Amino acid sequence: QVQLQESGPGLVKPSETLSLMCAVSGGSISTSYWSWIRQSPGKGLEWLGRVYISGTHDYNPALKDRVTMSVSMSKNEVSLRLTSVTAADTAVYYCARDSGDYGDFVNNWFDPWGQGTLVIVSS
Amino acid sequence: DIQMTQSPSSLSASVGDRVTLTCRASQSIGTWLAWYQQKPGKAPVLLIYKASTLQSGVSSRFSGSGSGTEFTLTINNLQPDDFATYYCQQFSSYSPYTFGQGTKVDIK
């Protein structure tokens, strides 16, 4: 079964770039969209966006131009970059696989999720 | 964005109780709704998708219903392992996908 594991710095300075990786094991990285979701006490669960192996992506408009996601088939990894971070970006970040009916890449739920990684934005 | 509102925000119940959690969408989402269970320090786990389809491996004590803008998650015969926070998520539109704020179920 597919398992996901997030990794990356736990502390990022304000105005810098947050970079996280999600290692995918136990399944193909090329047949699903992969989403990033974060959870903070103030904003609950927030979907950040998703990416496909081709590079096709959908980002949450709330993040404007700060977010970039990509997939590496050679490394079996999904990456997240979030620029110009502030304290409001402090959260637990999760990666998750988009799941849905065969061929449906719009109406998707999330299963499974990685265990999450806490990122604190502070100087 | 489609806003998801869950009620109540928390409830206290006893082992063996039947509890019903509600999730309302700000516009019709058909049956494009999922429910997740989250325990402290852990990632959310999928319970139900498409409003009423039980995820493989999930106890049949969980059931979901609803369509349009109003949905419910029912837990029958509440067990100690069920005390957690439950979230709904709409996947009618990925611009963007959105979650409810959660309902925490704790022990009375």
| Tokens encoding A76 | 């079996």
SS3 state at A87: helix
When CB atoms are compared, the residue of A46, A94, A109 closest to B34 is A109
DSSP label at A96?
E
Say whether A110 and B34 touch across the interface (CB within 8 A).
Answer: yes
Give residue B15's Cα distance to chain centre: 19
Give the C-alpha separation, A80 to A75, whole Å.
14
Rg (CA), chain A: 14
Q: Of A60, A100, A113, which has the smallest distance from its Cβ to B44's Cβ?
A: A113
Between A16 and A105, the more confident residue is: A16
From B55's Cα to the closest Cα of chain A, the distance in A is 10
Residue A64 has pLDDT above 80, yes or no: no
The pLDDT score that the predictor gives to residue A102 is 80
In this predicted structure, the answer to whether residue A105 has a pLDDT above a threshold of 90 is no
Tell me what pLDDT residue A39 has. 98
pLDDT per residue as tens digits for the range A3-44: 999 999 999 999 999 999 999 999 999 989 999 999 998 778
Q: Compute the average pLDDT of residues B89-99.
A: 89
Q: How far off is chain A from B19, nearest CA to CA, in Å?
A: 23
Q: Work out whether strand B53-54 and strand B45-49 pair parallel, antiparallel, or are unpaired.
A: antiparallel
CA distance B46 to chain A (A): 6
Provide the pLDDT for residue B39: 96
pLDDT of residue A104: 82
Provide the percentage of residues in chain B whose pLDDT is more than 70. 99
pLDDT above 90 coverage of chain B, percent: 94
Average per-residue pLDDT for chain A: 94
Spatial separation of the C-alpha atoms in residues A105 and A34, rounded to whole Å: 11
∠ Cα B92 B93 B95 (to 5°): 165
- For residues B3-30, average pLDDT: 97
Summarised one tens digit per residue, pLDDT across range B23-68 is 999 999 999 999 999 999 999 999 999 999 999 999 999 999 999 9
Nearest CA of chain B to the CA of A123: how many Å? 25
Q: Choose between A99 and A7: higher pLDDT.
A: A7
Chain B positions in Cβ-Cβ contact with residue A100 (cut-off 8 Å): 91
Nearest residue in chain A measured CA to CA from B36: A110
The whole-angstrom separation of Cα A50 and Cα A97 is 9
Of A61, A111, A114, the CB nearest to B46: A111
Contact B78, B86 (CB under 8 A): no
Per-residue pLDDT, B93: 77
Q: Which member of B43, B55, B99 has the closest CB to residue A115?
A: B43
Average pLDDT over residues A63-82: 95
